[in-house]
Amino acid sequence: MAHVAGSFLLQLALQVEHLLPQDNATVLCSPGDEARAEYWAFGHGHWTMKEGCAVAHRKKDFAYWSSTWAAGLTALKGSPSYKDPAIHTADGVYIFDAEFCTVNGFLDLPNKAQLLQNYSAIMEMEERACNSEPLQSLSASAHTSALREAVAMFNAEGEKDAAIRGAPFLETGVLERVNAEHCTKRRYSCMIHFCLNNFCKLSDGRVGQGCQCRKDFRLMPVPTSGRV
Ligand SMILES: *[C@@H]1O[C@H](CO)[C@@H](O)[C@H](O)[C@H]1NC(C)=O
Ligand SMILES: *[C@@H]1O[C@H](CO)[C@@H](O)[C@H](O)[C@H]1NC(C)=O
């Protein structure tokens, strides 16, 4: 009896958790995509955080990075519209990556649709950027804390009034050091693909994400058996 009561309370707690205000997920619009996002961000698909990019390289398919953990987490952890000297985002957009992608200029690339379909073209971009200065020297002396430091700066700016808020990725050296860290991990290419697939400039100049960019935006389906 105690066991039955206990599991009833657990179920109740899980339901209540679902009713509490959650981070806005309006960037998803296809039926089942919230469940997919939960799976990749926090469920059994969470391994794609560490290994998704490596699998993408092995399969020559960036979807293993762009449409798994990275897409799921950013969809479930979006923020209300945000403004700093580098970006203005729509409601529900994940602001850190939105700014990273914007300041890198990836959202303004003209041949976006072709790039998204072309693994080797994005690999060429990685090789070109990571094998030339300043990224080559920075990656050689790589500190693996650049990303973490940028996140901390970003959180500090987020606490400030929009009027006096700075854009961490516009500060000297921050973007380069984060890019160099991605180069070291062979993840620069994965990030380009993720940026192009996940974010866009909306017609009014704000940065949008997911379904705000295109209605057929989807995450990778939950595998029916085992790992991919
Ligand atoms: C969540 O989405 C709704 C519907 O688009 C919007 O009205 C609301 O402002 C959003 N809230 C946040 C916190 O982004
Ligand atoms: C993909 O990109 C490579 C390198 O830029 C190019 O040579 C190739 O023609 C492209 N393939 C397609 C199918 O567009």
What is the per-residue pLDDT across 171-223, written as a single tens digit (0 to 9) for each? 999 999 999 999 999 999 999 999 999 999 999 999 999 999 999 999 999 99
User: Has residue 161 been placed in a domain?
Assistant: yes
- Residue 118, domain extent: 2-212
Q: What is the pLDDT of residue 9?
A: 58
125 lies in some domain: yes
Helix axes 188-198, 48-59, angle to 10 degrees: 100
- Residues within a 6 A CB radius of ligand 2: 114, 118, 120-121, 124
Domain assignment present for residue 18? The answer is yes
In a domain, 226, yes or no: no
Contact 69, 46 (CB under 8 A): yes
Q: What pLDDT digit, counting tens, does each position of 116-153 carry?
A: 999 999 999 999 999 999 988 888 786 678 999 999 99
The token pair that represents 16 in the structure block? 């209540």
- Is 224 inside a domain boundary? no
Ligand 1: nearest atom to the Cα of 78: 14
Compute CA distances 40 → 33, 177, 196, whole Å: 10, 27, 19
Q: Is 2 exposed, middle or buried (0-12, 13-18, 19+ CB in 10 A)?
A: exposed
The answer as to whether 74 is a domain residue is yes
Question: Nearest Cα to 65, choosing from 210, 212, 190, 224?
Answer: 190
pLDDT digit string, tens, across residues 41-75: 999 999 999 999 999 999 999 999 999 999 999 99
Report the atom number in ligand 1 closest to the C-alpha of 23: 13
Distance 167 CA to ligand 1 centre (A): 23
Query: Which residue's alpha carbon is nearest to atom 7 within ligand 1?
Result: 91
**Count of domains observed in the chain:** 1
Q: What is the dihedral angle through the alpha carbons of 148, 62, 46, 104, rounded to the nearest 10 degrees?
A: 20
The residue nearest atom 13 of ligand 2, judged by CA position, is 118
Q: What is the pTM of this model?
A: 0.84
Question: How far is the centre of ligand 1, averaged over its atoms, from the C-alpha of 80 (Å)?
Answer: 7
| Rg (the chain; Cα; Å) | 19
Q: Residue 142: what pLDDT?
A: 66
- The number of angstroms, rounded, from the C-alpha of 176 to the middle of its chain's C-alpha atoms is 18
